[in-house]
Amino acid sequence: MIQLLASPGATSLPAHAIIRALDLPVTVRLLTLGPGGDDLAPLTPYGRIPALVLDDGTLIGENAAILPFLADMRPGTSLFAPTGSVERALIQSWIGYIASEIHGATQRVGNRPHLYSDDPAAHEGIRQAARRRLREAYQPIEDHLARNDWLVGDRVTIADLHLGVFAGYVPHFGPALSDLPALSAFSARFEALPAVLAARAAEGPPSFRPGARPVFANPAQEVTA
Ligand SMILES: N[C@@H](CCC(=O)N[C@@H](CS)C(=O)NCC(=O)O)C(=O)O
């Protein structure tokens, strides 16, 4: 059976929620992130979760591939859209934006300033600039959600499940991201979805602290989403 490698409350939650929503024949293996936790390198293609392990051992990494792959296991699901349709392209466009602009280019930078300067004195400035940039990156999403309940069409799609986990991190980033009312309302709608409630209940509390400042003597051990 296909296996999802996940960790409680991490960016694997969207994939877990799809599995719950579509009742897919996929098992969820929960790993522990952080010091003393699981070594992701040998288990995953890029040392990150989520990852899928197929029956023949093939490993698939990245939400941008995993979320569509899981949704396509139930052809015709309202969580996604038909091949070649504009809606499918819009859903994938949001997933790409969230993975790159919200997560990779800004949130991770703010959480890991030591990767961008060897000078500890520069880290707070990097952290603050990254959070300003994260706020800017949320603006197109905020504008869209001020007029729409969901990202594409009038229904929940895999793009919403992707965004939802990041929306849940926003309160951890403090005042820099406190003025996003439409995103905050979206986050409440996301958290109330039965599939999200089921996935969160099965996962239990996160093994990492979203938006955490470095708390370890060795910053390489810092684990934040
Ligand atoms: N671009 C990846 C990012 C995945 C990612 O950053 N996962 C985090 C958990 S939220 C992780 O595996 N962190 C472990 C680490 O960085 O050591 C995706 O969207 O799937």
pLDDT in tens, 92-122: 999 999 999 999 999 989 888 999 999 999 9
Amino acid letter, residue 158: I
**Is the domain of 131 the same as that of 186?**
yes
Give residue 217's pLDDT. 37
* CA 136 from centroid of its chain's CA atoms: 18
Q: Where are the beta strands (DSSP E) in the chain?
A: 2-6, 26-30, 51-53, 59-61
Q: Kindly state if the Cβ of 14 falls inside 6 Å of ligand 1.
A: no
57 and 18 share a domain? yes
Q: Residue 31 above 80 pLDDT?
A: yes
Q: How far apart are the first and last CA of the chain?
A: 28
Which residue, judged by its Cα, is nearest atom 16 of ligand 1? 48
pTM metric for this prediction? 0.93
Q: What angle do CA 10, 145, 130 make, to 5 degrees?
A: 50
Whole-number Å distance, alpha carbon 20 to ligand 1 midpoint, is 21
Structural domain harbouring 37? 2-77+206-220
187 and 141 in one domain?
Answer: yes
Which residues does 101 contact at the CB level (< 8 Å), separation at least 6?
137
Ligand 1 geometric centre to CA of 225 (Å)? 7
Ligand 1 center–CA 120 separation, angstroms: 24
Residue 163 lies in a domain: yes
Place of tokens 């569509």: 68
Which residue carries 């999200």 as its tokens? 196
CATH number at residue 53: 3.40.30.10
Using the 8-state DSSP alphabet, how is residue 102 labeled?
Answer: I
Cβ–ligand 1 distance for 72 under 6 Å, the answer no
Task: Output 206 or 129, whichever has higher pLDDT.
Answer: 129
91 and 183 part of one domain: yes
Asked, for residue 197, whether it belongs to a domain, the answer is no
Say if residue 104 is in the same domain as residue 68.
no
51 and 105 fall within a common domain: no
Residues 44 and 110 reside in one and the same domain: no
**Mean pLDDT for all residues in the chain:** 92
Q: Quick check: 212 pLDDT over 90?
A: no
**Residue 200 placed within a domain:** no
List, for residues 136-182, the tens digit of each pLDDT value.
999 999 999 999 999 999 999 999 999 999 999 999 888 889 999 99
Distance (angstroms) between ligand 1 centre and the Cα of 68 equals: 17
Q: Are residues 63 and 35 in the same domain?
A: yes
Residue 199 in domain? no
Using pLDDT thresholds of 50, 70 and 90, give the confidence band for residue 211: low
Please indicate, yes or no, whether residues 96 and 184 belong to a single structural domain of this protein. yes
Nearest to 2 by CA among 19, 17, 14: 19
Q: Residue 37: is its pLDDT beyond 70?
A: yes
Residue 225 in any domain: the answer is no
Please tell me whether residues 153 and 213 are part of one structural domain.
Answer: no
Q: Could you identify the atom of ligand 1 that is nearest to the CA of residue 64?
A: 19
Domain count, the chain: 2
CB of 11 closer than 6 angstroms to any ligand 1 atom:
yes
Query: Encoding tokens for residue 56?
Result: 């023949």
